[in-house]
Structure 1
Amino acid sequence: RALARVNLDARTQTASGTLRAFVRLDAASRTGVIHSGTMLRIGQADAATGVDERGREEQYVNVDKAFLQFAGLTAGRASSFYDFYAHDFEFYGATSGSDNSSTNLLAYTATF
């Protein structure tokens, strides 16, 4: 099994606040019968054989998150603001959070 995750997080200060750009890339390859329940649920792996339906090794590259934040506005693919426990409590094959670790969103956050 091989797993890779690359996080790119760029921030700069502007007169209106912080401008942030974030990208998370995941890549994986595996063979054998050990599998991740999470990967199965989010559609990034096939059944627990280590190969897909055509006998090829399971390999993927996934843009898990990619968003911009500026002056309270968040736009792009990110964790839902309503999913407070997204995969925070995860065990082999079971989860206590949402199966959607990322979703497309447009959100505004204000502090009162």
Structure 2
Amino acid sequence: MPNFDVVIFDWSGTLVHDPSHEERLTLSFEKLGRINVHGIDGVCESVRRWEKDPEVVAAQVGSDTSASRYYEAESLYFQRAGLDQELAEVLRHADEWPETGQCIPMHLERSEI
């Protein structure tokens, strides 16, 4: 039987609402006290464009297996997208906020094993 050092449960988009780039960035700007009514679309466009970059995609492979890999992958992604360090740091923690982890209402049936 294999040994595991850690198990990470990532239910974004399955049991938990997975916020859009717009939602995450809007909340990040709000947490920083920044008003960016006109610039949010450009930032979202840049984030969307760079999420498909081959180096960013390669860095994200296995990034959910350790905190340091996740940090490195997200740092590369946000740097390429042109986010400043302060915004990138806040955005990196977006999944930890109660407002981004709302459970999706659904009926779950108990199955027999």
> How would you bin the TM-score normalised by the shorter chain?
under 0.3
Which has the larger share of helix? 2
Considering fraction of residues, name the structure with more strand: 1
TM-score, normalising length: structure 1? 0.23
